[in-house]
Amino acid sequence: MNQDKTQSPKGKLKQRLLLDEEYKVLSSLGTGGMAEVYKAEQVSLNRTVAIKKLKSSLSQNPEMLERFYREGKSTANLQHENIVQVYQMGKAGEEHYIVMEYVEGKDLKSILKASATIPWQIAGLIIREVAKGLAFAHQRGYIHRDIKPGNIMVSQRGEVKIMDFGIVRRIDSELTKTGAFLGTPSYMSPEQLKGESITPGSDLFSLGVVFYEILAGEKPFRAESEASLIHKIVNEKPKSIRKLNPEVPWRMARIIKRLLNKNPKKRFESAEELAQALEKLLGKTIIARAEAEIASYLAGIDDWAQEEKTRQVKDYAGKESEELVQVEPFKKGRKTSRGIQASKAQSSLRAKSGQNSIEEAKWMFKTIILMAISLGLILIIYFLNASGVISKLIKLFRHYF
């Protein structure tokens, strides 16, 4: 039988990958800058997967091939609940592919389009899950280097997973080189933009930018040109998060401020320490039901079904408005130019938010009282000593005892 020249994506994939009947292609998820992605069923294990195939036009490009396989190999070495899993990778004919976990949900970028900001408790839970995934990667010697909303998936069940390890680097590898480098400028750390050696702290800065954005509804550093943006990230402090969203607790604002410190050594020592700080802030009760809380919030966001197609394209193919770009290292002297919208799902959290605000106020009140008592005691001791009362009391004590 002659092969139809105008095959569907499903037919083309089966022909090109030559994977026999192991994978039954269900639909095309879309095409990104470097890959075509399909939703498929792995017949032998009866599970849904995503098959990511490098574009044929890039199959002869050494740099793109290296990035593609780096993503597959590094992710395959990171078996963690907060990282999208890779099941298989290889080459069939002239086609290069990765079979990976299919996550039914949305990335943070899509969530922010449906709800300009995320309630602080939900935001804290999401960032904590990302921190856990990063901690695992860092402990095994990997720096992600491209943490941003589009690379953080949130499933309908409330799971949070990091994806796209395409520009990951080993901590012990040579991380700096002369000239331009890849990244998403808005989320890059000062040391990345200056072309300096990077550490796990660079991922924490990027996560701080994401944390700020999902709470404030805008990025901490914004500018009309790339040069101006880089200058701001390297030299300027962002506006206080509480000025943009007063509902954010003081302690959470301090966590974000620490994450965005220009000096990597003054950020959290590790992603694990960040996760622990958020656990302490949020409390054991909400932490115990983290996935349920996140899932409940997502269920209340409008047009889930309408945006799913768009979401899938972005999630796996990496097609989004903020693509990776080459960035020239920052140099001093470079010239520069110059609403918080609540979703319906937030209503269920307002009572909890109010309760936590009360707890925050109680904590601050207790701190002020303790400081006042301490100061009062110091003053009393000072005046008693100055008037000679303490010396007289000591003499009487010695006389009778």
- Which positions are catalytic? 146
Cα 37 to Cα 176: distance, rounded to the nearest angstrom: 31
Question: Whose CA is closest to 122, among 363, 313, 289, 330?
Answer: 289
| Owner of token pair 């089966």 | 14
Q: Which residues of 130-164 are buried (b: 16+ CB within 10 A; e: fewer)?
A: bbbbbbbbbeeebbbbbbbbbbbbbbeebbbbbbb
| Owner of token pair 């069939």 | 92
Token pair listed for 80: 């963690």
5: CB partners within 8 A, 6+ apart: none
Sign, Cα dihedral of 178, 182, 186, 187:
negative
Cα 22 to Cα 107: distance, rounded to the nearest angstrom: 28
Question: Whose CA is closest to 297, among 112, 56, 161?
Answer: 112
Q: Which amino acid is at 145?
A: R
Cα 309 to Cα 314: distance, rounded to the nearest angstrom: 9
Cα 220 to Cα 44: distance, rounded to the nearest angstrom: 47
**In the β-sheet with 35-42, what is the strand arrangement from edge to edge?**
23-31, 35-42, 47-54, 95-101, 86-92
Q: Is 25 helix (H, G, I), strand (E, B) or coil?
A: strand
Alpha helical stretches, state H, 8-144: 9-17, 62-76, 108-114, 120-139
DSSP characters over 29-57: EEE-SSEEEEEEEETTTTEEEEEEEE-GG
Token pair listed for 309: 């197609």
Question: Whose CA is closest to 204, among 106, 118, 278, 154?
Answer: 278
119: CB partners within 8 A, 6+ apart: 247, 297, 346, 349, 353
